[in-house]
A and B are shown apart, each in its own frame.
Chain A
């Protein structure tokens, strides 16, 4: 079946603009994660959705970052008033259930803030 997909693949934006990054998890997967991969910070957890439960937002670096998951499927990560330090690859992963430890990753979105 289809894997995790993310769009766009690459995004270049000007400092101060808002951006939206999209993640389509594997069909039927109830858990969804966002991670950020940057040169200075490595791979960092951002946010976790599990079914209809309140998301774990503890990894979001600032209040400029937010995410939602509609209908328990597609997720959108929004970054407001982008800064140059937001430049990174944003990875999405999904998992079959909250009891599964295996996460399946998408190809990521490379965000460049100029």
Chain B
């Protein structure tokens, strides 16, 4: 199975900060990577697919980059509604696997 390792597992940031989350795959997954945002008690929400493509309706402050094994999610200017847990997920190979999550806290 492909292991997805996110770092950091949690971070503290302030409104207006630029935040970067890293996701590393244990083997190459081309650009078959998605990012999701999850708030407490809610379902995950799609943010990014194909490593760098923005899901329709998602604000452009979210961006993704990378290919192969190393990927990043960047939030350009953190707002109160962005405090949540973020997950990466590879869809290159079965079984599909998620990273452990990054909790973004105030």
Partners in one complex: no
- Write the residues of chain B forming the contact surface with A, with a CB cutoff of 8 angstroms: none
The chain A residues found within 8 Å of chain B, CB to CB, are none
